C-alpha cells in the first residue's frame, strides 16, 4: 500500500518548474480523475508514428510503463510509439524520468512543451499514472492517428491511498483473463486496490494444500435458477477455482499496474463452502447438506476450538505465501451468532475461556486471527462488525458498509477505515430504471449518486436511496430527509484511508454484466478517491464524461449507458394519441429527436418539452453536445398497446427493503426476462393511471427465483 500526502518531492519539482510556467493558465482537461493542477501554456507538441518513449536503461518500472503506453497508443489511437533508451533526433520524445523522493509515492508531473513530453515521478507508480494521464490526453478527441497536444504542466497526486474495487468471485466465477482486463480498466482510472472476495457460502475459489475438499466440494454448486421443469434435466454443476499459477499471474499483472490485490477469506460466517468440505470445523451440524445456490444469511459458522484456528492458520499462511499485500481481508460480516448460542461445543469453549457472551467470543475469534496475520507483518481488514464485542489491535482496519457511523467510531478508536457504504458503493444495484438494465439489487444507484459521495463527510445512517422508480419514499424508510453527514476531526480524518466500490455478484452472472455494473460508476469512485473535494463538482465531471466513456470501446469495455442515454416515458392521451417525455439521467447536453423514421443527427429537432404524438409513431432520440452524439440512439415504435403497457421496472414498488431485479427462466426465445420485485412485499403500483375507459387488464406473470435465505426468516 502506498500512503498519500508525501508532497516533498513534488514541492521541489514545483519550485524548479515555477519559472517555466510563470505565464501558465489553469485549465480543465477531459481527464478522469481530475488532476490536482493543470496549467496551459502557448504552443503544442505533435505525437506521430515513430515518436520515442525514452526510459532510463536500468529502470524496469519505467520500461513497464513505457510498454503499456506503447500498447495503449496503438490500441486506442492506432499510433506507434517505441520505447527507447535515448531520444531520436528530429522526433518528439516522451521522456520518463525518475526524480528523488519516496519510492511509494504515487505523485507525478507532466510537462508538454519544446517538442517533448516529460513525465517525472519518484516512483514507478507515479510514472505509470503519468502515462495513464498522457494516454487520456492523447485520446480526448476520440480520433485516430497523429495527435496534437497543447502545452501543459500537470501536477498530480492522490487524495487517498486506498482507491478500491471489490470483486466477488465466490457467488459467480470470473475468468482470469477477465480479472486482468478489470485490473487494466481500474489502473486506467488510477484505482489501486482490488479486494478479491475468494470465499463465501456459495463457493471456495483457491486451492489450499492439505485441504483438497475445499475446491473438490466447496467450489461447485447447482446454478442459481429455477428448475427447467419441462425438460427435467439434471442440474448442471456451476463453479471453479483459480490455480496457484493463475493467481500468481494475476498478482504479477496487477503489480505491473500498481494494483494491490487484497485477498479476502470469509470467517467465521459466510463460510458454508468450507464447512461442507470439512464439517468437523463447523460450530454445529451443518444445516444444508449440499452446496447452496441461495444468497443471503446462511445459518452456518466456523466453531471456535483449536482445530478451527489450526485450519485458518494453515489457510491464511498459504494465502500470505501467495499474496504480497500488506492487508489481508478476513470478512467478519454478518456473523450468525445464534449458531454459536445454540452450539453446546461453542458454549462449553466460551465458558472454559471465561468469555461472557457470543459478541465477546466474536472479538476473541477475530483477535486470534489478527495474531496469525501480525506474526507475518500483515494487517487485518474486515467488515465493520469486527469492531463489535471488544477492542482490537489499533492497526486492524475496517470497511464501513452499513452507513458511516462505524467509520466515525472506528476512526475515533484509532482504526483505519475504507468506505464501502451500501447502497451507494454496492455496485450490484441497478444504475437506472430502464428495463434493459442488468439484473441486480433493485435500488437505483446512479452515477451521480456515487459521484455525490464525499469520503471526508459520508452519510451517517444507511443512506437509503430514493425508493425504486421514483416513488414517494415509503414511511419508515427514512429516505425523505437527506442523511446527516459524518464529521471527522483532523486526527480522525487521517484514518479514512479510502473508498471502495463493491461488485457483489449474487445477481451478476456474466462478465459482460459485471463490466456494466462497474463502469462508469468506477470512474466516480476514482474521482472521489483521487481528487480533493474542493476540485470536484458534478457539472465539471459530467462535462468530462463523454470523452472518458469514448475511451472505453477501444479497450473492449462495454459500459452501462444509463447516465447519458435518453429515456422516453410514454402514456396514452386519448384513444389514438400518446404523450411522451424525454430525459436523460445526467441531464447533460441537448436532447434531439426525429419522428416517423427520419434519421437522427445533430440538426434534428431540439426537444423542449412533452411531445404529443398520433399513434402509431416511430421515435428516435439521443443527447448531443454540438455535433457530438453522447448517447446511443433510442429507437422506439409506439403503439396504442405499448403506451398502455408497463414492465415491472417501470412500475412503482410497494414499500420494502429488499428490491431485486431477478431473472426468470428462459422464455420461448431463449432469453431470460428480468423483473423488479420487492421480495418481502411483492406488489407494484401504476400511479395516476386513468382506468375510466379500461375494459380489461392483461397481466404477464412468471415464476422468478429469489434464491435467498435470511437466517431464521
Ligand atoms: C456485506 O454486505 N455483508 C459486507
pLDDT tens figures, 147-189: 999 999 999 999 999 999 999 999 999 999 999 999 999 999 9
- Whether 596 is a known active-site residue: answer no
Give the least confident one: 3-17, 113-127, 652-666, 683-697.
3-17
The sign one gets for the Cα dihedral 317, 319, 321, 326 is negative
* Interval 423-455: pLDDT, tens: 999 999 999 999 999 999 999 999 999 999 999
DSSP characters over 620-687:
EEEEEETTEE-SPPEEEEE-TTGGG---GGGSEEPS-S-EEEEE----TTS---EEEEETTS--EE-T
Q: What integer pLDDT is reported at residue 669 of this predicted model? A: 83
Contacts of residue 6, defined as CB under 8 A and 6 or more positions apart, other chains included, come to 101, 102, 104, 105, 107
Pairing between β-strand 659-663 and β-strand 220-221 as defined by DSSP bridges:
unpaired
Nearest CA to ligand 1 atom 2: 401
Pocket test of ligand 1: the residue of 167, 334, 335, 407 to mutate, having most ligand atoms within 8 Å of its CB, is: 334
* Interval 384-417: pLDDT, tens: 999 999 999 999 999 999 989 999 999 999 999 9
- Joined together, the cell numbers standing for residue 565 give 442515454
Q: For 321-341, what is the mean pLDDT?
A: 97
* Interval 26-52: pLDDT, tens: 777 899 999 999 999 999 999 999 999
Task: Give the separation between CA 123 and CA 97, rounded to whole angstroms.
Answer: 9
Pocket test of ligand 1: the residue of 201, 333, 505, 506 to mutate, having most ligand atoms within 8 Å of its CB, is: 333
Q: What integer pLDDT is reported at residue 36 of this predicted model? A: 97
Q: Which of 334, 511, 567, 573 is catalytic?
A: 334
Question: 703 phi and psi, to 5 degrees?
Answer: -75, 125
Q: What integer pLDDT is reported at residue 577 of this predicted model? A: 95
- Read off the pLDDT band of 712 (50, 70, 90): low
What's the gap between Cα 465 and its chain centre? 17
Q: What integer pLDDT is reported at residue 287 of this predicted model? A: 65
What is the whole-number distance in angstroms between the Cα of residue 134 and the centre of ligand 1? 37
Residue in 378, 397, 366, 386 with CA at minimum distance from that of residue 322:
378
Residue in 144, 127, 18, 157 with CA at minimum distance from that of residue 73:
144
Q: For 9-37, what is the mean pLDDT?
A: 63
Nearest CA to ligand 1 atom 3: 333
CA dihedral of residues 434, 438, 441, 442 (deg, nearest 10): 10
Q: What integer pLDDT is reported at residue 668 of this predicted model? A: 79
Query: Does ligand 1 have an atom closer than 6 angstroms to the CB of 296?
Result: no
**pLDDT higher than 50, residue 497:** yes
Residue in 365, 331, 339 with CA at minimum distance from that of residue 285:
339
User: Which H, E and C letters describe 85-106, residue by residue?
Assistant: CCCCCCCCEEEEEECCCCCCCC
Q: What integer pLDDT is reported at residue 14 of this predicted model? A: 41
Average confidence score pLDDT of the chain: 91
* Interval 530-553: pLDDT, tens: 999 999 999 999 999 999 999 999
SS3 233: coil
What is the whole-number distance in angstroms between the Cα of residue 419 and the centre of ligand 1? 12
CA distances from 319 to 179, 261, 267, 285, 332 (A): 18, 11, 14, 27, 17
Residue in 551, 555, 558 with CA at minimum distance from that of residue 514:
558
Residue whose C-alpha cell reads 473508498 in the numeric block: 499
DSSP characters over 528-562:
HHHS-GGG--HHHHHHHHHHHHHTTGGGT-----T
Q: What integer pLDDT is reported at residue 687 of this predicted model? A: 87
Residue in 585, 659, 635 with CA at minimum distance from that of residue 431:
585
Q: What integer pLDDT is reported at residue 13 of this predicted model? A: 39
Task: Give the separation between CA 487 and CA 464, rounded to whole angstroms.
Answer: 19
Task: Give the separation between CA 198 and CA 323, rounded to whole angstroms.
Answer: 12
- Read off the pLDDT band of 672 (50, 70, 90): confident
What is the whole-number distance in angstroms between the Cα of residue 458 and the centre of ligand 1? 18
The helix-helix angle for 306-322 and 358-374 (nearest 10°) equals 40
Task: Give the separation between CA 528 and CA 537, rounded to whole angstroms.
Answer: 10
- Whether 172 is a known active-site residue: answer no
SS3 358: helix
The percentage of the chain sitting over the pLDDT mark of 70, rounded to a whole number, equals: 92
Query: Does ligand 1 have an atom closer than 6 angstroms to the CB of 104?
Result: no
Q: Which range among 243-247, 485-489, 654-658 has the greatest average pLDDT?
A: 243-247
Task: Give the separation between CA 298 and CA 302, rounded to whole angstroms.
Answer: 12
What is the whole-number distance in angstroms between the Cα of residue 677 and the centre of ligand 1? 21
Residue whose C-alpha cell reads 457483489 in the numeric block: 504
Q: What integer pLDDT is reported at residue 6 of this predicted model? A: 36
Predicted structure pTM score: 0.94
* Interval 542-597: pLDDT, tens: 999 999 999 999 999 999 999 999 999 999 998 899 999 999 999 999 999 999 88
The atom number, within ligand 1, closest to the CA of 270 reads: 3
- Joined together, the cell numbers standing for residue 682 give 411483492
Buried b or exposed e, range 597-621, using 16+ CB within 10 angstroms: eeebeeebeebeeebebebebebbb
* Residue 105 · residue 157 · CB < 8 Å: yes
Q: Could you check whether the bond before residue 347 is cis, i.e. omega within 30 degrees of 0?
A: no
Q: What integer pLDDT is reported at residue 692 of this predicted model? A: 83
**pLDDT higher than 50, residue 20:** no
* Residue 478 · residue 464 · CB < 8 Å: yes
Q: What integer pLDDT is reported at residue 501 of this predicted model? A: 98
Q: Which uninterrupted H or E stretch holds 591?
A: strand 590-595
The atom number, within ligand 1, closest to the CA of 426 reads: 2
* Interval 112-150: pLDDT, tens: 999 999 999 999 999 999 999 999 999 999 999 999 999
The sign one gets for the Cα dihedral 565, 553, 503, 492 is negative
Q: Which of 270, 415, 495, 507 is catalytic?
A: 270
Q: What integer pLDDT is reported at residue 225 of this predicted model? A: 65
Task: Give the separation between CA 427 and CA 169, rounded to whole angstroms.
Answer: 14
Query: Does ligand 1 have an atom closer than 6 angstroms to the CB of 333?
Result: yes
In angstroms, how far is the first alpha carbon of the chain from the final one? 41
The helix-helix angle for 176-187 and 244-256 (nearest 10°) equals 10
- Whether 334 is a known active-site residue: answer yes
**pLDDT higher than 50, residue 10:** no
Q: What integer pLDDT is reported at residue 398 of this predicted model? A: 98
- Read off the pLDDT band of 288 (50, 70, 90): low
Query: Does ligand 1 have an atom closer than 6 angstroms to the CB of 427?
Result: no
Residue in 226, 260, 468 with CA at minimum distance from that of residue 381:
260
- Joined together, the cell numbers standing for residue 81 give 510509439
Nearest CA to ligand 1 atom 1: 333
- Read off the pLDDT band of 233 (50, 70, 90): low
DSSP state of 35: P
Task: Give the separation between CA 421 and CA 407, rounded to whole angstroms.
Answer: 10
Query: Does ligand 1 have an atom closer than 6 angstroms to the CB of 593?
Result: no
Amino acid at each position: 500500500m502506498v500512503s498519500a500526502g508525501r508532497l516533498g518531492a513534488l514541492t521541489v519539482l514545483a519550485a524548479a518548474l515555477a519559472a517555466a510556467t510563470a505565464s501558465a493558465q489553469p485549465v480543465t482537461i477531459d481527464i478522469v480523475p481530475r488532476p490536482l493542477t493543470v496549467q496551459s501554456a502557448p504552443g503544442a507538441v505533435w505525437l506521430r508514428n515513430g515518436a520515442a518513449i525514452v526510459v532510463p536503461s536500468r529502470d524496469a518500472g519505467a520500461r513497464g510503463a513505457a510498454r503499456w503506453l506503447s500498447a495503449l497508443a496503438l490500441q486506442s489511437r492506432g499510433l506507434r510509439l517505441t520505447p527507447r533508451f535515448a531520444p531520436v533526433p528530429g522526433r518528439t520524445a516522451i521522456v520518463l524520468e525518475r526524480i528523488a523522493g519516496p519510492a511509494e509515492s504515487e505523485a507525478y508531473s507532466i510537462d508538454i512543451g519544446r517538442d517533448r513530453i516529460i513525465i517525472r515521478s519518484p516512483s514507478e507508480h507515479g510514472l505509470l499514472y503519468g502515462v495513464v494521464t498522457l494516454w487520456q490526453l492523447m485520446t480526448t478527441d476520440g480520433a485516430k492517428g497523429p495527435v496534437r497536444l497543447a502545452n501543459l504542466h500537470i501536477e498530480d497526486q492522490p487524495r487517498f491511498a486506498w482507491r478500491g474495487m471489490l470483486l466477488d468471485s465466490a457467488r459467480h466465477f470470473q475468468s482470469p483473463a477477465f480479472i486482468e482486463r478489470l485490473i487494466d480498466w481500474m489502473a486506467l482510472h488510477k484505482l489501486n486496490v482490488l479486494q478479491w472476495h475468494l470465499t463465501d457460502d456459495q463457493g471456495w475459489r483457491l486451492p489450499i494444500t492439505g485441504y483438497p475438499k475445499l475446491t473438490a466440494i466447496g467450489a461447485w454448486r447447482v446454478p442459481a435458477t429455477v428448475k427447467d421443469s419441462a425438460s427435467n434435466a439434471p442440474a448442471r454443476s456451476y463453479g471453479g477455482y483459480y490455480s496457484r499459477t493463475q493467481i500468481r499471474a494475476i498478482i504479477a499483472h496487477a503489480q505491473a499496474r500498481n494494483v494491490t490485490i487484497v485477498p479476502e477469506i470469509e470467517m467465521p460466517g459466510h463460510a458454508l463452502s468450507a464447512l461442507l468440505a470439512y464439517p468437523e470445523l463447523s460450530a454445529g451440524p451443518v444445516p444444508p447438506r449440499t452446496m447452496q445456490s441461495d444468497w443471503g444469511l446462511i445459518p452456518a459458522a466456523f466453531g471456535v476450538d483449536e482445530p478451527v484456528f489450526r485450519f485458518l492458520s494453515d489457510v491464511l499462511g498459504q494465502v500470505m505465501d501467495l499474496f504480497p499485500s500488506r492487508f489481508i481481508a478476513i470478512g467478519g460480516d454478518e456473523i450468525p451468532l445464534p449458531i454459536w448460542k445454540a452450539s453446546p461445543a461453542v458454549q462449553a469453549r466460551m465458558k472454559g475461556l471465561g468469555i461472557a457472551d457470543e459478541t465477546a467470543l466474536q472479538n476473541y475469534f477475530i483477535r486470534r486471527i489478527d495474531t496469525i496475520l501480525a506474526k507475518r507483518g500483515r494487517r487485518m481488514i474486515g467488515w465493520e462488525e469486527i469492531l463489535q464485542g471488544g477492542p482490537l489491535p489499533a492497526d486492524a482496519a475496517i470497511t464501513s458498509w452499513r452507513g458511516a457511523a462505524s467509520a466515525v467510531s472506528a476512526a475515533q478508536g484509532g482504526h483505519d477505515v475504507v468506505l464501502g457504504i451500501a447502497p451507494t458503493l454496492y455496485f450490484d444495484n441497478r444504475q437506472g430504471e430502464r428495463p434493459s438494465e442488468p439484473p441486480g439489487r433493485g435500488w437505483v444507484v446512479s452515477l451521480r449518486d456515487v459521484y455525490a459521495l464525499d469520503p471526508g463527510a459520508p452519510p451517517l445512517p444507511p443512506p437509503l436511496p430514493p425508493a425504486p422508480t421514483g416513488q414517494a419514499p415509503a414511511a419508515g424508510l427514512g429516505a425523505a430527509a437527506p442523511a446527516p453527514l459524518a464529521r471527522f476531526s483532523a486526527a480522525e480524518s487521517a484514518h479514512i484511508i479510502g473508498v471502495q466500490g463493491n461488485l457483489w455478484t449474487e445477481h451478476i452472472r456474466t462478465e459482460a454484466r459485471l463490466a456494466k455494473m462497474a463502469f462508469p460508476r468506477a470512474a466516480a469512485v476514482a474521482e472521489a478517491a483521487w481528487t480533493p473535494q474542493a476540485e470536484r463538482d458534478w457539472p465539471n465531471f459530467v462535462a468530462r464524461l463523454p470523452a472518458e466513456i469514448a475511451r472505453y470501446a477501444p479497450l473492449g469495455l462495454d459500459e452501462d449507458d444509463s447516465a447519458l442515454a435518453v429515456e422516453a416515458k410514454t402514456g396514452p392521451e386519448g384513444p389514438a394519441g400518446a404523450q411522451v417525455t424525454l430525459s436523460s439521467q445526467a441531464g447533460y447536453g441537448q436532447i434531439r429527436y426525429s419522428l416517423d423514421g427520419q434519421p437522427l443527427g445533430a440538426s434534428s429537432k431540439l426537444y423542449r418539452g412533452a411531445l404529443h404524438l398520433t399513434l402509431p409513431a416511430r421515435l428516435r432520440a439521443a443527447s448531443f453536445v454540438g455535433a457530438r452524439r453522447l448517447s446511443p440512439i433510442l429507437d422506439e415504435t409506439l403503439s396504442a398497446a405499448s403506451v398502455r403497457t408497463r414492465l415491472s421496472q417501470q412500475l412503482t414498488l410497494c414499500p420494502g427493503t429488499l428490491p431485486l431485479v431477478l431473472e426468470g427462466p428462459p422464455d420461448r426465445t431463449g432469453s431470460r426476462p428480468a423483473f423488479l420485485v420487492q421480495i418481502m412485499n411483492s406488489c407494484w403500483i401504476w400511479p395516476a393511471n386513468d382506468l375510466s375507459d379500461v375494459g380489461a387488464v392483461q397481466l404477464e406473470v412468471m415464476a422468478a427465483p429469489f434464491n435467498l435465505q435470511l437466517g431464521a426468516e
